[in-house]
Amino acid sequence: MKEENRKYANEAYDIIKYASEKVGSRLPGSEGEREYADYMGDKLREIGIEPKKEEFAVSPRASIGGIPYAGWAGVILSALTYVAMSMSTVWFGMALGSIAVIIWLIFSVFLYKPWFDMFFKRKISQNVYGELLPEDGKYDYTIILSGHTDTSWNWKHSENAYKYRNNPVKGLIATFGKVGFGALCFFFIAGVSIFMSAFYLGRYVNAPWALNMAYTQSFNTFLIAMHFIPVITAIGSFFVIMWADPDPANASKGAMDNASGCAISYEVIKYFKENPEKMPKNCRIIDFNCGSEEAGLKGSIAFTSEHKGEAILNNAWNINIDSVADKDYFEVVIKDDWQFTRFDKDLEKMFKDTFNELGIESKSGGCIHNPVGGCDSTPMTKAGIKSVTFAAQNPILTYYYHTFRDTADRFEPETIGDGIDVVLGVIDKIAAFQEANGFNGPQK
């Protein structure tokens, strides 16, 4: 960490401690999330930047927070199997329910589509942001520094792997073993429900394949096995129910994910506020505290929708900062695989060059894809903004990721200081690029 930035690193660490220790869990749409958003707004006000708040509706359990509902669906399907074995019409209702849950999982939980939000309880979340203009008030482009204010539900299986924190292999087996078994059980019983409804429909219309199957040895063996298998699928489905603890008191405290991102964004804009001579020429900088990222990127989607066609999104660069804590894993996230979104290649190169200049070495090679879920760079990229996500987080599922063990005492202000150095270095590169090339749009 550069010595000149030490005070900003220490201040950022104090913000992280306040968020995780004083505010605590900040689930999407919760009072905790609102309290922290207001706190970050007050911090902007302290340095003479008047914050703006934009509220939006969110259905927190319609996306990843609703995964336990799939587990309950598996338990119900498992129980109804015994009814359906003697009353075949029940299979049709089970099949329709299975198809509905699978479609919801694919589009809402995995792909973050809002199509099912109307069926879940809604709450109010908020985005809070402030802008720093050049001294003459004129600018040609905008750099948006973003971090999300909310935290995740506690992932019980990850937290339970805490006892294996010194043995990552056992931790991964303990976590993924339960989750994988549970997922397999749900999809199996759902698949059986769909298959059996198709079978009885085939018999009803005298389809040859269904009539012939009814007399095969393998099918009859399967029917016998179905007297025992639902017990197993019910047990496995309970592992899915346990995945995300619904109790807000047990939710992630969010020191790394993502008070660190909000704190670094704030300290960088404060740095330029206090050092106007270092402000990039003709550049506006925005500190964007984004709400409800854990509910399916709802804050960044709301922001880009609210300002579609407005100057705030024109000629704009976004450095999305999400989880800076693990000093051995500095990296630029260049793609959300599940969202089918590739982020900006110019920014990717700027981050990699900055890592090299600062002598930062990473066990992840300094560059990763986001293999599951998504980050706020996806809506920004889709809105025509050059964006990547900057992180310093072990990409392997760990006991502190999305658990109440995500606390500030796990990492050091020095790591936050390195993060500030990186962001400042990339901003210098954006300024040089902008002056030399202008804006050339997202490089996918």
> What are the structure tokens assigned to 233, written together?
């699928």
Predicted local confidence at residue 443, as pLDDT = 86
Average pLDDT over residues 296-311: 96
184 and 238: one domain? yes
CA-to-CA distance for 106 and 98, rounded, in angstroms?
Answer: 12
Lowest mean pLDDT among 105-119, 169-183, 413-427: 169-183
**Chain-centre distance for alpha carbon 434:** 30
211 and 344: one domain? no
Predicted local confidence at residue 145, as pLDDT = 98
The answer to whether residue 165 scores a pLDDT higher than 90 is: no
Predicted local confidence at residue 295, as pLDDT = 95
Residue ending a domain, among 230, 245, 260, is 245
Any domain includes 105: yes
CA-to-CA distance for 297 and 111, rounded, in angstroms?
Answer: 10
- Give, to the nearest 10 degrees, the angle between helix 31-46 and helix 260-274: 10
Any domain includes 203: yes
The fraction of the chain above a pLDDT of 90, given in percent, is 88
Any domain includes 427: yes
- CB neighbour list of residue 38: distance below 8 Å, 6 or more residues apart: 128
Any domain includes 117: no
Residue ending a domain, among 188, 220, 245, is 245
- CB neighbour list of residue 22: distance below 8 Å, 6 or more residues apart: none
CA-to-CA distance for 186 and 232, rounded, in angstroms?
Answer: 10
375 and 340: one domain? yes
Please count the other Cβ atoms lying within 10 Å of the Cβ belonging to residue 240.
25
> What are the structure tokens assigned to 267, written together?
């300290």
Predicted local confidence at residue 224, as pLDDT = 94
The answer to whether residue 430 scores a pLDDT higher than 80 is: yes
- Mean of the per-residue pLDDT values of the chain: 95
CA-to-CA distance for 394 and 328, rounded, in angstroms?
Answer: 8
Task: Grade residue 169 by pLDDT with cuts at 50, 70 and 90.
Answer: confident
Task: Grade residue 204 by pLDDT with cuts at 50, 70 and 90.
Answer: very high
Q: How many domains does the chain have?
A: 2
Predicted local confidence at residue 209, as pLDDT = 93
Average pLDDT over residues 402-430: 97
Predicted local confidence at residue 362, as pLDDT = 94
Range of the domain at 343: 3-57+124-153+247-437
131 and 178: one domain? no
Any domain includes 442: no
Please count the other Cβ atoms lying within 10 Å of the Cβ belonging to residue 85.
15
Task: Grade residue 298 by pLDDT with cuts at 50, 70 and 90.
Answer: very high
227 and 251: one domain? no
Predicted local confidence at residue 56, as pLDDT = 97
43 and 106: one domain? no
Of the two residues 245 and 261, the one the predictor is more confident about is 261
382 and 266: one domain? yes
- Give, to the nearest 10 degrees, the angle between helix 168-204 and helix 67-84: 40
pLDDT tens sequence across 6-36 = 999 999 999 999 999 999 999 999 999 999 9
Predicted local confidence at residue 23, as pLDDT = 97
pLDDT tens sequence across 306-334 = 999 999 999 999 999 999 999 999 999 99
Any domain includes 395: yes
Predicted local confidence at residue 316, as pLDDT = 97
Task: Grade residue 1 by pLDDT with cuts at 50, 70 and 90.
Answer: confident
The answer to whether residue 371 scores a pLDDT higher than 80 is: no
Residue ending a domain, among 190, 222, 245, is 245
93 and 184: one domain? yes
Supply φ then ψ for residue 59, to 5 degrees: -110, 90
pLDDT tens sequence across 75-125 = 999 999 999 999 999 999 999 999 999 999 999 999 999 999 999 999 999
Q: Tell me, what CATH number does 279's domain have?
A: 3.40.630.10
Label each residue of the chain as H, E or C.
CCHHHHHHHHHHHHHHHHHHHHHCCCCCCCHHHHHHHHHHHHHHHHCCCCCEEEEEEECHHHCHHHHHHHHHHHHHHHHHHHHHCCCCCHHHHHHHHHHHHHHHHHHHHHCCCCCCHHHCCCEEEEEEEEEECCCCCCCCEEEEEEEECCCCCEEHHHHHHHHHCCCHHHHHHHHHHHHHHHHHHHHHHHHHHHHHHHHHHHHHCCCHHHHHHCCCHHHHHHHHHCCCHHHHHHHHHHHHHCCEECCHHHCCCCHHHHHHHHHHHHHHHHHHHHCHHHCCCCEEEEEEEECCHHHCCHHHHHHHHHCCCCHHHCCEEEEEEEEECCCCCEEEEEEECCCCEECCHHHHHHHHHHHHHCCCCCCCCCEEEECCCCCCHHHHHHCCCEEEEEEECCCCCCCCCCCCCCCHHHCCHHHHHHHHHHHHHHHHHHHHHHHHHCCCCCCC
CA-to-CA distance for 426 and 207, rounded, in angstroms?
Answer: 65
Question: Token pair 């905790």 is at which residue?
Answer: 32
Of the two residues 373 and 139, the one the predictor is more confident about is 139
Any domain includes 29: yes
Task: Grade residue 355 by pLDDT with cuts at 50, 70 and 90.
Answer: very high
Average pLDDT over residues 278-302: 97
85 and 149: one domain? no
Any domain includes 79: yes
252 and 165: one domain? no
Nearest-10 Cα torsion for 321, 324, 327, 331 = -30
Predicted local confidence at residue 411, as pLDDT = 96
83 and 50: one domain? no
> What are the structure tokens assigned to 97, written together?
């329910």
The answer to whether residue 170 scores a pLDDT higher than 90 is: no
Predicted local confidence at residue 155, as pLDDT = 93
- Give, to the nearest 10 degrees, the angle between helix 67-84 and helix 90-104: 170
Predicted local confidence at residue 175, as pLDDT = 84
pLDDT tens sequence across 30-74 = 999 999 999 999 999 999 999 999 999 999 999 989 999 999 999
145 and 174: one domain? no
The answer to whether residue 369 scores a pLDDT higher than 80 is: yes
Predicted local confidence at residue 159, as pLDDT = 92
**What b-and-e string marks burial along 107-145, b requiring 16 or more CB atoms within 10 Å of the CB?**
ebbbebebebbeebeebebbbbbbbbebeeeebbbbbbb
